Amino acid sequence: MIYKNIGKMIQKAREEAGLSQEELSSRLGYTQAALSNYELGKRRLYLANIEQIAKELNKPLNYFLEDAAEKVKAGQEKAQDETISEINKLLSELPPEERKNILEYIQWRKERLK
Amino acid sequence: MIGFDLTDEQLEYQKTAKDFAQKEIKPYAAELDRRQGTAFDWGIVSRFAKANLLGLNVPKKYGGLGVNMLTAVVMAEELGTACMGIIGTAAGNWLATTCLSSVGNENQKKNYLPLCCGENASLAALAVTESEAGSDIAGIKTTAARKGDYYILNGTKTFITNAGLAKFYIVFATSDPRKRHGGLNAFIVDGDAPGLTLGTVVDKIGLRASQVGTVIFNNVEVPAENILGAENTGFFIAVQTLDMSRPCLGAAAVGVARAAFETALTYARERKQYGRPIIENQAISFMLADMATEIEASRLLTWRAAWLIDQGMDSTKASSMCKIFSSEMAERVCSRAIQILGAHGYTRNWPVEKYYRDAKALAIYEGTNQIQRIIIASML
């Protein structure tokens, strides 16, 4: 879980920097496949890898770690919340247009509660 | 694509571990289990050191055996057959050295890893748990305040394997409790640092030969260069270390279950009732068949988790799965072994009651099985 979240942050930071996987991987001295696996969370990232990537992308190390830690925690809490998992399950079965409607409905409900 | 053969080198290491377990651990297991008070025995540590098993996973360049994870789990299973308590002491070292090997800088590795290797090897410990921060490590209250070239540590760690014995500890502390995960840091702390003291030693129902206790930090000065990784990376370090240590725990569970199974099998073949060995009753032989099947299944989960680690892949889910299944399997197998031995199984004249007491701990430490389920569920 933690690698997947860090991987997503790497992808986000790479895209923000306007770099392709090929470009970033060659700067880091990795193969493109290795970087792709890091971004997908399939490969285990060591702290040294994350530090190197953070340096190359001009981000503080904690940009990748803190967010990932929060997401892991959120993911774990989510796993414990049956209501949310049921909502997620049903949502995934709906077409994109319907999902958008539901999102708008949730936002409307949230506004009303304020 | 799939092969289950061990290499010649792995078979050699397996034999080393098996011989060591049978000659150097097993003969002392019962005595240390029954010793009142503190059962820990330095004599056993020196045996481990002579075989360099305290530095099992330390890279060769620092003096360790440097085996990969698959080889380590094959060895841990053999050691687990002899005494979970005694190998708990070595496992405390493996936790600390796994952590240090994966995140330490060259100086830290050069200064500390060799302390766990070779004939004069000492013990090490990983200190994460606190009375209010067990499963929730972001709730750690031990503080680390920066003061010039030092960090000042204050707090109390509980349930620490090798407490009071370790030459060095890897201690997790927070530099900012409000930041929770984001404020955690890991430090290498010398065992003889002023202000570091041993509190109570825990009196446990099992794992009697392993010393587990409270470690108190009272204004302990830790040189700033002893911080592991970059600042505020402690949460990542803890998660990664535990992920990588779980397959060895799973393998040890397979080992203790195997020991219980083998005792029960031998007994069932020899014990006669109604004029024939009790194994000829399906009620008994089916229990043994289930035990053998579950042991095999656990071993395969454990090997797969170790294989993923060796491939550099994310093993989080596989590690948690092998930890849950193997530890619960071990408890079931040990319980059935007691049942097969009948009244004998419930006595202290046979080792199965000890296996049962030891196996129970596996579902609790290094992340309870409930936490493992949360991890798996979050990755489905």
Question: Which of B298, B282, B290 is CA-nearest to residue B333?
Answer: B290
Mean pLDDT value of segment A59-63:
89
More confident site: A72 or B179: B179
Give the separation between CA B170 and CA B99, rounded to whole angstroms.
Answer: 8
pLDDT value, residue B174 = 95
| Same domain for A32 and A11 | yes
Tell me whether A61 touches chain B (CB under 8 Å). yes
Question: For position B212, which CATH number holds?
Answer: 2.40.110.10
Per-residue pLDDT tens over the stretch B30-89:
989 988 777 788 998 999 999 999 999 999 999 999 999 999 999 999 999 999 999 999
Domain assignment of residue B1, yes or no = no
Contact B181 A66 (CB under 8 A): yes
Nearest CA in chain A to B236: A65
Residue B3 lies in a domain: no
Residues B132, B153, single domain; the answer is yes
Q: Is A19 on the interface with B (CB under 8 A)?
A: no
Is the domain of A72 the same as that of A90?
A: no
Total-model pTM: 0.86
Please choose, from the candidates B158, B124, B103, the residue with its C-alpha nearest in 3D space to the C-alpha of residue B48. B124
Q: Is B378's Cβ below 8 Å from some Cβ in A? A: yes
**Number of structural domains, chain B?**
3
**Cα gap B113→B98, rounded to integer Å:** 10
Do residues A72 and A88 share a domain?
A: no
**Tokens read off for B151:** 């960090």
Query: Which tokens belong to B7?
Result: 């290499």
- pLDDT category at A77 given cuts 50, 70, 90 is low
Angle at B62 between CA B60 and CA B65, to 5 degrees: 35
- The verdict on residue B353 lying in a domain is yes
Distances (CA, A) of A17 to A24, A33, A53, B292: 10, 19, 12, 55
- Specify whether A49 is located in the same domain as A94: no
pLDDT at A73: 63
Q: Which of B172, B100, B101, B128 is nearest to B371 (CA)?
A: B128
Q: Is the pLDDT of residue A112 over 90?
A: no
B236 contact residues in A (CB cutoff 8 A)? 2, 47, 50, 65, 68-69
Helices A21-28, A32-40: inter-axial angle, 10-degree rounding: 110
By Cβ distance, the residue of B230, B235, B374 closest to A61 is B230
Domain of residue A104, residue span: 81-113
Residue B52 belongs to a domain: yes
Are residues B374 and A76, on separate chains, in Cβ contact within 8 Å?
Answer: yes
CATH of the domain at B351: 1.20.140.10
* Whether residue B50 is found in the same domain as residue B175: no
Hey, is B190 helix, strand or coil?
strand
Residue B41 host element (H or E): none
Q: Which residue numbers in chain B have pLDDT < 70? A: 1
The residue type of B111 is N
- Tell me if chain B has a CB within 8 Å of the CB of A40: no
Shared-domain flag, residues B247 and B372: yes
Hey, is the C-beta of B314 within 8 angstroms of any chain A C-beta?
Answer: yes
Residue A74's pLDDT is 65
Of A1, A46, A51, the CB nearest to B316: A1
**Does residue B361 form part of some domain?**
yes
- Inter-chain residue contact B182 with A65, CB threshold 8 Å: yes
Q: How far are the Cα atoms of A10, A69, A72, B126, B140 from residue A6, in angstroms, in the given order?
A: 6, 9, 10, 25, 23
B84, B189: one domain: no
- The number of beta carbons lying within 10 Å of the beta carbon of residue B364 is 13
Count of structural domains, chain A: 2
Distance from CA of residue A30 to its chain's centroid?
Answer: 21
What per-residue confidence (pLDDT) applies to A69?
66
**Cα separation, A99 vs B88, whole angstroms:** 52
- CB-based contacts of B11-15 (< 8 A; 24+ apart in sequence): B13/B65, B13/B67, B13/B71, B13/B74, B13/B75, B14/B74, B14/B75, B14/B78
Q: Is B5 exposed, middle or buried (0-12, 13-18, 19+ CB in 10 A)?
A: exposed
Domain range enclosing B365:
235-378
Among B57, B91, B116, the domain-final residue is B116
Same domain, B150 and B109: no
Query: Where is the domain boundary, B116, B133, B167?
Result: B116
pLDDT of residue A79: 63
Provide the pairing of β-strand B168-174 with B124-127. Answer: parallel
The 10s digit of each residue's pLDDT in B147-196 is 999 999 999 999 999 999 999 999 999 998 888 888 999 999 999 999 99
- Domain-embedded: residue B324: yes
Rounded Cα gap, residues B127 and B343, in angstroms: 40
Distance of CA B296 to the CA centre of its chain: 20
Cβ(B80)–Cβ(B354) below 8 Å: no
B108 and B47 inside one domain: yes
CA gap B23, B82 in Å, rounded: 9
CB B196 within 8 A of CB B77: no
Verify that A35 and A7 share a domain, yes or no.
yes
What is the pLDDT, as a whole number, of residue B159? Answer: 95
Instruction: Pick from B236, B245, B320 the residue to mutate for testing the A interface (most A CBs within 10 Å).
Output: B236
Q: Give the closest residue to B87 by CA, choosing from B30, B36, B45.
A: B45
Whether A42 and A25 share a structural domain: yes
CB burial readout B230-262, b (16+ within 10 A) else e: bebbbbbbbbbbbbbbbbbbbbbbbbbbbbbbe
